[in-house]
Amino acid sequence: MKDGFIKVAAVTPEIKVADCIYNAESICKSLDEAYAQEAKIIVFPELCLTGYTCGDLFWQEKLLDAAQEGLSRVIAHTAWHEGLVFVGLPWEKDGKLYNVAAAISSGHLLGLVPKRYLPNYNEFYEARHFTLGGPDTDWISFEGEEEEVPFGTELLFCANAPKGLCVAAEICEDLWAPNPPSTAHALAGANVIVNLSASDEVVGKDSYRESLISGQSARLLCGYIYASAGEGESTQDLVFGGHNLLAENGHILAQSSRFACGVTCTEFDIARLREERRRMTTFVPDEDAVYEKCRFWLKEKETKLTRGFDPHPFVPSGKADRDRRCEEILMIQALGLKKRLQHTGAQCAVVGISGGLDSTLALLVMTKAFDLLGLPHNRMTAVTMPGFGTTDRTYHNACELTRRLGAELLEVDIRESVKQHFQDIGQDPSVHDVTYENSQARERTQVLMDLANKKGGLVIGTGDMSELALGWATYNGDHMSMYGVNCSVPKTLVRHLVRYYADSCGDESISQTLRDVLDTPVSPELLPPENGQISQKTEDLVGPYELHDFFLYYLLRFGYSPAKLYRVAKLAFADSYDDETILKWLKTFYKRFFSQQFKRSCVPDGPKVGSVALSPRGDWRMPSDACVRVWMEDLEHIRV
């Protein structure tokens, strides 16, 4: 449960219809499998102690007594294990029969949740046998329990760990109803919903089931455990596939193969779900909800993680999805620039082109925006400004790409003007310090701004979101522009956008130039080359961008703590970086992220393209003098 993770399981046991003793033994055997995988919330299917397909046998008192006997066996089996277990069975109360989910923890029956909606459209006609459950909570006696047990649909099962864990149950058809009980459960505080189901299989139903469960988990910002009946149910008229699904906030984390029995496990991130709800202003808890809270206890310890963490969370996996997303992002960027050019009445757009990835992407976005406006490409001005660190490779690529795109190419050599500036401020040109570097960056920005004034145009910014996060920009140098088209595009995604353009533009000469840009090391080129090659490699100085983008995503999107971020980064990059390297650059990330906020507090306008952005006007409002101490102390306690 450390870091908010908890292991959960959906289980389909092999059963025999109406053989409650066999079924109880099968459930206990499956429980042992789930316990072996350290599952703490374990969910079995609807009516699994009897079988869902008993038909009119549900009216037989002998079956009902056998079901309770089976329940007692399962309860006893949990006595020496911590966790929360849900099993389904028929239950008689006040002369009526209910389809219930029994919640069990460590040898005790915590509560019974009846099914709220009963189907009457299939061969088993549940409404023929059962009564629908109501919202009022009642209390019943059960053999072996010293106190009465709550019975009702409005029950919450709350644990001490992980912090804030709250579980509620619904049964099969409840989810398919227009207003599922899980909606009220979530608004009352439940962040994990369990569903005990017996969903028969027909062609195509599995896809609909997946979308229904993923959608409900997204709407409710919850974890959703769906356990369905399978082998052993009667096949007189239907077949049950045992399709188990585990979803979290819109994502299917794990699912079973259909037409098989077994245990399906993953981990839910309860802390992440609580963070999502805190930031989601449309998720308004129902303060008038009256729910009975049933407490259970879990020992807090580290959960072994089996769920995956994408090392490149900003980049879609799979070429087709990635291409579609890249086209969408380029269009968002271009439309943002199109509107700004229209609104300002700009006669042209000016960009500094270096032969690097960011300025290349900015020029490609400009080209797309001008196409949308129906303007000739020669009204785009790309300015190459050779300095002390410029190499032949980047210079050639900048010039070649500009020509191929049909933009106006201007060259302004800044070396002499920067030398004059050094003389004016008393800077020794042989001292390659921050003044040496930043003077070049600011001179370039001055050239771009003045050219834009002269031409009646706008300076288009090239800096990306990863650089903003790290503060890897010269204040009032490349930090400044009149519209920043790349401001919410992380460095790992910039590369894919440029590659997508190279693959799809249909011009081999442009594609060839773009591929060479992609192969060029990331560098500001502010220090003199060594033997004609780039000497100043950004990732050698601030760390790998793929690590920083990973840190940025999980910090801003889900509010991960430093220690939790380090933990999941180790899993994501196990084949790429050792633990010491990850920790080193994570410390660098936090120090720079906090110390460089003052640069982000005054950035130019630019389009948001994803769920994570750093605009101080809406997406990330952080004081420029916030202290990093609490976060660094968390990292200092880590022992590699």
Give catalytic residue positions.
46, 115, 172
- Measured at the alpha carbon of residue 473, what is the angle toward residues 369 and 434, in degrees to the nearest 5? 145
> What is the rounded CA–CA span in Å between residue 12 and residue 27?
9
Half-sphere exposure of 301 (CA within 13 A, CB side): 10
> What is the rounded CA–CA span in Å between residue 374 and residue 230?
60
> What is the rounded CA–CA span in Å between residue 544 and residue 349?
32
- Measured at the alpha carbon of residue 270, what is the angle toward residues 640 and 298, in degrees to the nearest 5? 80
Burial of 372 (0-12, 13-18, 19+ CB in 10 A): middle
- Tell me how far apart the 2 most distant CA atoms of the chain are, in Å: 101
Whose CA is closest to 370, among 498, 454, 458, 490?
458
SS (H, E, C) 376-413: CHHHEEEEECCCCCCCHHHHHHHHHHHHHHCCEEEECC
Residues in the chain: 640
Q: Which residues contact 95 (CB under 8 A, 6 or more apart)?
A: none
> What is the rounded CA–CA span in Å between residue 344 and residue 122?
64
Q: Is the bond leading into 162 cis (omega within 30 degrees of zero)? A: yes
Strand ranges across the sheet with 380-384: 408-411, 380-384, 348-352, 457-461, 483-484
CB 461 within 8 A of CB 473: no
> What is the rounded CA–CA span in Å between residue 240 and residue 228?
8
Collapsed DSSP state (helix, strand, coil) of residue 163? coil
Collapsed DSSP state (helix, strand, coil) of residue 342? helix
Q: Which residues contact 619 (CB under 8 A, 6 or more apart)?
A: 488, 608, 612, 613
Q: Which two tokens stand for residue 608?
A: 């948001």
Whose CA is closest to 168, among 286, 279, 29, 50?
286
- Measured at the alpha carbon of residue 191, what is the angle toward residues 188 and 192, in degrees to the nearest 5? 120
> What is the rounded CA–CA span in Å between residue 261 and residue 245?
13
Q: What are the helix and strand counts (H, E) for the chain?
A: 21, 20
Q: Which two tokens stand for residue 13?
A: 């046991």
> What is the rounded CA–CA span in Å between residue 454 and residue 381?
12
